[in-house]
Amino acid sequence: MARKFRVVVNGKEYIVEVEELGQSTVAQVVQEVVQPKVVSQTTTSQNQVVEKQLEKPVVSQQVQSSKPQTSSAVSKTAHEVKSPMAGIILKVTVSEGQKVSRGQKLAVLEAMKMENDIVSEYEGVVAKILVKEGDTVETQQTLMIIE
C-alpha cells in the first residue's frame, strides 16, 4: 500500500510516496513542489514588469527503513481496526485478550475538536493494541488487531 505525504525540508516542499515492502519501507520523492519565486524584476519602456522564475530541479531519492510493518504480520483470520481520520487517541476502552462484539466501543479519537467513537466492525478477541492514550494517529493507521 502506498501513502503520499507532503514534507517540508530546509524550506523546500516535497511530495513523498511511501510504499510498504515486506519487512522494510521504501520512500521515494515523487515531486518537489516549487512555488515560483521572483529572481529579478525589470521594467521595460512600456512600464511592464518582467519576472524571471527559478527552474524546478529534478529530485529522486530513496530511503529504506528496517522498521517492521504491522500489516505483514497479520494473519488471514485477523482484522485490522484502522483510524478513519487523523487525530489523537483520548481513550482505549478495551484490553488485549478481551472479547469484543460488533458495534462495541474500542477507543475514543479526538479529531477537529470532536470526540469520535471507534467501534468494532468485527466479533472476536483483541489480539494486539498498537496505540495508547495520547498517541497521534494518521488516517488509515492500524489501531488494533482483532482475531
- Nearest in space to 128 (alpha carbons), one of 102, 97, 92, 100: 97
pLDDT surpassing 70 at residue 41:
no
- Report the relative pairing of strands 105-111 and 87-92 from DSSP bridges: antiparallel
pLDDT surpassing 90 at residue 130:
yes
Within 47-102, strands assigned E span: 49-53, 62-65, 79-82, 87-92, 99-100
**Model pLDDT, residue 52:** 47
Q: What domains lie within the chain, and their CATH numbers?
A: 2-65 (no CATH), 72-146 (2.40.50.100)
% of the chain surpassing 90 pLDDT:
44
Q: Which has the minimum average pLDDT: 13-22, 49-58, 74-83?
A: 49-58
- Tell me what percent of the chain is helix, strand and coil, each rounded to the nearest 5: 0, 55, 45
First to last CA, the chain: 22
C-alpha cell at 22: 515486506
pLDDT surpassing 70 at residue 70:
no
Q: Which residue is associated with the grid cell 510498504?
A: 20
Q: Which residue is associated with the grid cell 519565486?
A: 37
Distant-in-sequence contacts of 10-15, Cβ < 8 A, 24+ apart: 14/59
pLDDT surpassing 60 at residue 141:
yes
* Average of per-residue pLDDT values in the chain: 75
pLDDT surpassing 70 at residue 28:
no
If pLDDT is split at 50, 70 and 90, which confidence band does 6 have? confident
**Model pLDDT, residue 124:** 94
**Would you state the torsion angle of the CA atoms of residues 93, 95, 96, 98, taken in this order, to the nearest 10 degrees?**
-90
